[in-house]
């Protein structure tokens, strides 16, 4: 019996090279009026209190002006 001492994060020695990447995104709000509906949509079914969603939406407005940077980043891909 032999023990494999390779790092568990290393690919197998006979693994084919990777030639693609899948990017999945929820997207994000396109403007200030989209922030709260976006937050409600992505957290639907999680039981997050409405006041917490409004609070987080306020942070989103303060930091990003209501426009998610991920949308433009995805478009550039």
Tell me the pLDDT of the chain averaged across its residues: 86
The dihedral through the CA atoms of 41, 46, 51, 57 has a sign that is: negative
Give me the half-sphere count of Cα atoms (radius 13 Å) on the Cβ side of residue 9: 0
Q: Is 53 helix (H, G, I), strand (E, B) or coil?
A: helix
Q: Is the pTM of this model over 0.85?
A: no
Characterise 13 by phi-psi region: left (phi > 0), alpha (psi -120 to 50), beta (else). Answer: alpha
Contact between 68 and 25 (Cβ < 8 Å): no
Q: What percent of the chain has pLDDT over 70?
A: 84
Distance, CA of 61 to CA of 2 (rounded, Å): 58
């Amino acid at each position: 019996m032999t023990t494999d001492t390779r790092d568990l994060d290393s690919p197998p020695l006979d693994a084919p090279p990777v030639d693609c990447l899948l990017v999945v995104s929820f997207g994000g709000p396109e403007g200030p009026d989209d922030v709260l509906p976006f937050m409600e949509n992505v957290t639907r079914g999680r039981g997050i209190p409405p006041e917490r969603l409004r609070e987080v939406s306020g942070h989103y407005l303060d930091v990003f002006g209501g426009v998610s940077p991920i949308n433009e980043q995805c478009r550039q891909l």
